[in-house]
């Protein structure tokens, strides 16, 4: 696209140079011919500029979308940084919350690795054995 407009500018400049030479030589026929040529080159230049403007708009839209995606990824990354894999109870690993402004909780590791934020529920059997259940996926019991 940039090459097209560069080429269009270059050919327009060449046509302008021919017109200036013809004008200096006071050759009316050549001046008319050069003006016609310049008019055609100007049309090509306008077309190239228009195409470039359209491409520019498409790029702007793509940039806006990419920026939004980037912000989303950054937010997820920041959230991910507020958890660390830890042993919730003997042999049970889950993502432990590190943010002290929130109540301590654990996220189900397989769910969180799949992008689902599921806070594990802690229960205890009558014999005192602690177990964890995942509200999002029943088979993720520990």
Minimum CB distance to Zn ion, residue 95 (Å): 11
Number of CB atoms found within 10 A of residue 41's CB: 19
Quote the CA–CA distance of 31 and 20 in Å, as a whole number: 8
* Closest CB 116 distance from Zn ion, rounded Å: 7
Contact mark string toward Zn ion, 13..52, x via CB under 5 A: ----------------------------------------
User: Which pair of tokens denotes residue 44?
Assistant: 């090509």
Report 109-138 residues binding Zn ion (CB under 5 A).
111, 118, 134, 136-137
Size of the site for Zn ion (CB under 5 A): 7
């Amino acid at each position: 696209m940039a090459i097209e407009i560069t080429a269009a500018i270059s050919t327009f400049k060449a046509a302008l140079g021919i017109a200036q030479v013809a004008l200096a030589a006071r050759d009316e026929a050549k001046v008319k011919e050069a003006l016609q040529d310049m008019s055609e080159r100007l049309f090509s230049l306008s077309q190239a500029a228009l195409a470039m403007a359209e491409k520019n708009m498409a790029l702007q839209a793509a940039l806006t979308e990419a920026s939004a995606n980037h912000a989303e990824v950054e937010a997820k990354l920041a959230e991910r940084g507020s958890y660390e894999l830890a042993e919730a109870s003997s042999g049970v690993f889950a993502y432990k919350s590190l943010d002290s402004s929130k109540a301590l909780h654990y996220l189900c590791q397989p769910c969180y690795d799949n992008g689902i934020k599921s806070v594990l529920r802690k229960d205890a059997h009558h014999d005192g054995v602690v177990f964890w259940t995942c509200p999002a996926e029943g088979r993720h019991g520990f």
